Structure 1
Amino acid sequence: QRSAQVFYINPRLIESASPKTGEVIQILPDTDLYLMAALLHEMDALGRFDENVIREHGTRIDALRAFIAPYSADAVAEVVGLGADTIRDLADTFSGAERACVHMSTGVNMGQHGTLCYWLLQMLSFVTGNLDKPGGNFYSEGFYPAAKAGRARLDNVFFPSQHGEMRHIRGALAGNLLPDMILDDDNPIRALVVIAGNPLLSVGGEGRWRQALEKLDLLIVIDLFRNATGEYAHYLLPSADMLERPDLNICGLGMQYQPYVQYTDAVVPPAAQRREEWWILSHLLQAMGRHAPMLEQDPPRPFGRLDHMLSRTGLCVDTLAQQPSGTTVLDTQSIGRFYTDFIQTDDKRVDCCPPLFADAMELANQQFQALTTSTPAFRLINLRTNYMHNSWYQNVPTLKRGAHASNALHMNPADLQSIGIDDGDEVEASNTYGRVRVKVRSDDSLREGVVAMTHGWGNRQTPGMRVAQQHPGVNINALLPNGPGSFEKLSNQAFMSGVPVSINPVATQRTRA
């Protein structure tokens, strides 16, 4: 309404976009890295890099320029599925704007180059002088200075293992390796606690997961809903839901233009024997004879850590609870403080091309060359609907109706015609990791060559969930890479979006010439 231009880069015509809100540029999945490299390449060619900002706040700009050098708009156009002029126009519009910001979310992170994509995203803001400026990108401090969590040791971050080279990300390992670690003959994981998760259907390699879960000596599942993973549990423990427990939401920390903090009390007591996760885990520790610090306090203080976080603003949970609506709006002003207060590099400068990325950059270059000679016929992306959130709603009767009684494979109408099938026909989707049979649904929101499907389904082998077994759907994650090499080593994120697949009509049904 104030004459801003908004561009959505997505393989799909998403719901947020309209003639009033912005234009969708339909890229091919998992090629975002090459588009951003081309945007930077063209901006540099236009002389739009802010040399004063780079000189004052940046390092290793030459290495960044060396990486983007091969990726001109003409070079990447066919790989990303966009015209070279479209890419040049986008680079000109962004870098020529008085103010500009850029945002990325989960879909890109789930590709093969998530970390490099987030790197180039930050570079788009930094080199054009839009970082830490009003109208550009800035770090929102929130009620706690979480920026220090970004201070990372960048030497010797990888270590060898029988499952290949690995890295801890704040203590976590790659979930795609968990079945291999359970099935390891020499030093297996023998016990597992799953909290609010359904890895059996939400991670690639369902067959391998079933073998692993059957081998565990102990599986504890803590959740609001039953799920397929819980069918293997030795103990299935019900947790309190969002209305049965007090809460202080920290998910928005660092993502608020006007920082605020809000506490909400429980609305109702937990039903039956449901308990909060901290209570369950503390009592398990106590029963094992281990230290359970929360239970040693009278009364227990599950919000102790949050009290510490709030203390820098002069608040605590108790005082916050007394505020109107349990809410305090903070006067933290973050813009203009990034380079002095928040950046975590030792020299307080933006590293434009961290040496840690070298192997990932080389892999990206190799994969780009492969894409110039061979393009997958179809690429699979995830599709979210209001009727299935991850896999939690699979056993809810009211959400299994009409077109949502199962999960179809969405395809562009032109793609249906090209392989001689109609809306509602059955196809086989396959790749080197698996194959599934599924009905197709015509969907003109997808660009040609892109197929989409909602995950979290596939409950044919879940007898304890009556509704879910009556409407099992298809586990599309059977087509996801799994095991060693199936995730990005820098982040441990599994490759889950833009996965190449083949689509063929089921042989027994009618086909068109």
Structure 2
Amino acid sequence: MTSFRPPEFAEGYSFGRWHSRVRGAPEVFGQFPASCLAEEIATPGAGQIRALLTVAGNPVLSTPGGDHLDQALPELDCMISIDNWINETTQHADVILPGQSVLEQPHYDEMFWSWAVRSAGKYSPALFDPPEGTWAEWKVILMLSALVNGASPESVDTESLDQLFFAGLVAGFVQSPGSSIEGRDPAEIVELTAGVGPERILDFQIRTGPFGDAYGADPEGLTLAKLKAEPDGIDFGPMVPRLDEVLTTESGKVELAPDYILGDLPRLRESLESNQEGLQLISRRHVRSNNSWMHNAPGLMTGKERCTLLIHPEDARARGLEEGMRAEVKSQAGRVEVAVEVTEEMRQGVVCLPHGFGHDKPGARLSVASQRPGVCNNVLAPGDLVDHLSGNAQVNGIPVEVHLPRAG
């Protein structure tokens, strides 16, 4: 329902414009794989990462080779975390800046509506007033941005920084070909957009989106104010064809078989034809969990143990394992010991561990999660086991051995 394709991508995407310092992983959308982080911190030389900012994240548990990152984080000169928890990652921070609760801020689901099969949107106001003196994360980030650029804390005006950022955003869109506000006066658009911070950006996105009023060009079009007036949200119906509008490849077609994919097929064919012995590890998620951060909510951690190794009955029988027994799972990267759950839902030759557990590291202060810590499946994921083209870590299909725990 919103329209937010950055103008710099209007002529198409490109990849591998630069490469990471240590392993040479290609850039994708301006990013490097998370599995590069530990080595970029720990490896000396020009360009070595010396400072880190995390925002509501726990990469020690959620990224491959997290144990290496756990060891690397104390080597940083500075680490700042914007977070409400002292978890396995933020315990290493020099400063933890708490944000407001999600219930103390308004909410619009920017991510998941983009995957919906209908065009719809819903704005949810804050349920509670935030405590006096607390800051929303966006204001904290603006403050930190100013400090990193040499400003003193006393001189930082977050309202002016917010205004400057929004004015730059608008200026890019009025110059973007095909934008619903192409050629308009940026100052006029800024003046017509109420609010501050993310809420003002949301109003801008809605008004320049496919159902928006385009700042007066379509008086019947949508604005954030109109969306707020509909507490149950607005449903605009099923999706409509618009591929020509969003496709930015040089050929003007959906490129299902670009040269860099075709060139990698022989390597893929060779790997498929190789004789893979042993078991392959895959991951899973639970409906009452999201990565690692919902494990400290008491109401979401009731019931039976969820961090179990799913294994096919034949594979369990061959290894002397039965329901509820403990098993050792070992890869070239590490090992864990976990309870066994025997089920025919698993394919023979494949075992499964859930993602996001492993809350047993010293220093973390997660009183609920630590009572049922589980094991971290990323301990078993080698940081250098990566997809050849993107450099992204392989977190499924990891070769493992499973057997009874060794005595002693």
Do Structure 1 and Structure 2 share a fold, with TM-score over 0.5? yes
TM-score class, shorter-chain normalisation, is 0.7 to 0.9
Deviation at 1:430, TM superposition (A): 0.8
CA–CA distance in structure 2, aligned partners of residues 450 and 164 of structure 1? 30
CA contact (8 A) 1:143 1:330 kept: no
For the residue of structure 2 that corresponds to 1:309, the secondary structure is helix
Q: 1:317 aligns to what?
A: 224
CA–CA distance in structure 1, aligned partners of residues 253 and 301 of structure 2? 53
Q: 2:360 aligns to what?
A: 460
CA–CA distance in structure 2, aligned partners of residues 161 and 168 of structure 1? 7
Q: 2:126 aligns to what?
A: 266
CA–CA distance in structure 1, aligned partners of residues 232 and 301 of structure 2? 37
For the residue of structure 1 that corresponds to 2:329, the secondary structure is strand
CA–CA distance in structure 2, aligned partners of residues 331 and 151 of structure 1? 30
| Residue 201 of structure 2 is aligned to residue 305 of structure 1 | yes
Deviation at 1:180, TM superposition (A): 0.5
CA–CA distance in structure 1, aligned partners of residues 378 and 59 of structure 2? 10
Give the aligned CA root-mean-square deviation in angstroms. Answer: 3.0
Deviation at 1:306, TM superposition (A): 2.5
| Residue 394 of structure 2 is aligned to residue 495 of structure 1 | yes
Q: What letter is aligned with 1:320?
A: L
Q: Deviations over 1:480-508 (max 9, x none)?
A: 0204xx33354453211121111111233
CA–CA distance in structure 1, aligned partners of residues 391 and 134 of structure 2? 33
CA contact (8 A) 1:285 1:292 kept: no
**Aligned 1:18-29 pairs, distance under 5 A:** none
Candidates 276, 279, 282, aligned match of 1:378: 279
Q: 2:159 aligns to what?
A: 295
Deviation at 1:417, TM superposition (A): 1.0
List gaps (5 residues or longer) in structure 2. 164-194, 214-221
| Residue 328 of structure 2 is aligned to residue 428 of structure 1 | yes
Given the superposition, is the C-alpha separation of residues 275 and 376 from structure 1 closer, same or farther in structure 2, using an over 3 Å criterion? farther
**Aligned 1:446-457 pairs, distance under 5 A:** 446-457=346-357
Deviation at 1:146, TM superposition (A): 4.4
Q: 1:369 aligns to what?
A: 273
Q: Deviations over 1:220-264 (max 9, x none)?
A: 222343321111111122222322111222213443333122222
CA–CA distance in structure 2, aligned partners of residues 293 and 258 of structure 1? 41
Q: What letter is aligned with 1:498?
A: G
Deviation at 1:183, TM superposition (A): 0.8
Q: Deviations over 1:58-82 (max 9, x none)?
A: xxxxxxxxxxxxxxxxxxxxxxxxx
CA–CA distance in structure 1, aligned partners of residues 134 and 351 of structure 2? 40
CA–CA distance in structure 2, aligned partners of residues 356 and 292 of structure 1? 47
Q: 1:239 aligns to what?
A: 99
| Residue 333 of structure 2 is aligned to residue 415 of structure 1 | no
Q: Deviations over 1:77-115 (max 9, x none)?
A: xxxxxxxxxxxxxxxxxxxxxxxxxxxxxxxxxxxxxxx
Q: Deviations over 1:364-409 (max 9, x none)?
A: 1221222xxx1232111112224532111333344445532x6221
Q: What letter is aligned with 2:254?
A: V
CA contact (8 A) 1:462 1:469 kept: no
Q: Deviations over 1:262-320 (max 9, x none)?
A: 22221111247653210111122344545978521686343333233222311332343
Q: What letter is aligned with 1:499?
A: I
CA contact (8 A) 1:382 1:453 kept: yes
CA–CA distance in structure 1, aligned partners of residues 262 and 279 of structure 2? 29
CA–CA distance in structure 2, aligned partners of residues 471 and 176 of structure 1? 27
Q: State the number of aligned residues.
A: 358
Given the superposition, is the C-alpha separation of residues 416 and 324 from structure 1 closer, same or farther in structure 2, using an over 3 Å criterion? same
CA–CA distance in structure 1, aligned partners of residues 257 and 353 of structure 2? 36
CA–CA distance in structure 2, aligned partners of residues 169 and 317 of structure 1? 33
For the residue of structure 1 that corresponds to 2:327, the secondary structure is strand
Deviation at 1:185, TM superposition (A): 0.8
Q: 1:218 aligns to what?
A: 78
Report the TM-score, using the length of structure 2 for normalisation.
0.78
Q: What letter is aligned with 1:268?
A: F
Given the superposition, is the C-alpha separation of residues 328 and 438 from structure 1 closer, same or farther in structure 2, using an over 3 Å criterion? closer
Q: Deviations over 1:307-355 (max 9, x none)?
A: 332223113323432x3217344478622x42x4332223423334211
Indicate the structure with greater helix content. Answer: 1
Q: Deviations over 1:440-492 (max 9, x none)?
A: 12223212212111222223223433343343322221100204xx3335445
Deviation at 1:192, TM superposition (A): 0.7
List gaps (5 residues or longer) in structure 1. 1-141
CA–CA distance in structure 2, aligned partners of residues 355 and 466 of structure 1? 51
For the residue of structure 2 that corresponds to 1:239, the secondary structure is coil
**Aligned 1:272-291 pairs, distance under 5 A:** 274-288=134-148, 289-290=150-151
Candidates 174, 183, 192, aligned match of 2:52: 192
Identity %: 25
Report the TM-score, using the length of structure 1 for normalisation.
0.63
Given the superposition, is the C-alpha separation of residues 262 and 489 from structure 1 closer, same or farther in structure 2, using an over 3 Å criterion? farther
CA contact (8 A) 1:411 1:442 kept: yes
**Aligned 1:93-132 pairs, distance under 5 A:** none
Q: 1:166 aligns to what?
A: 25
Q: 1:209 aligns to what?
A: 69
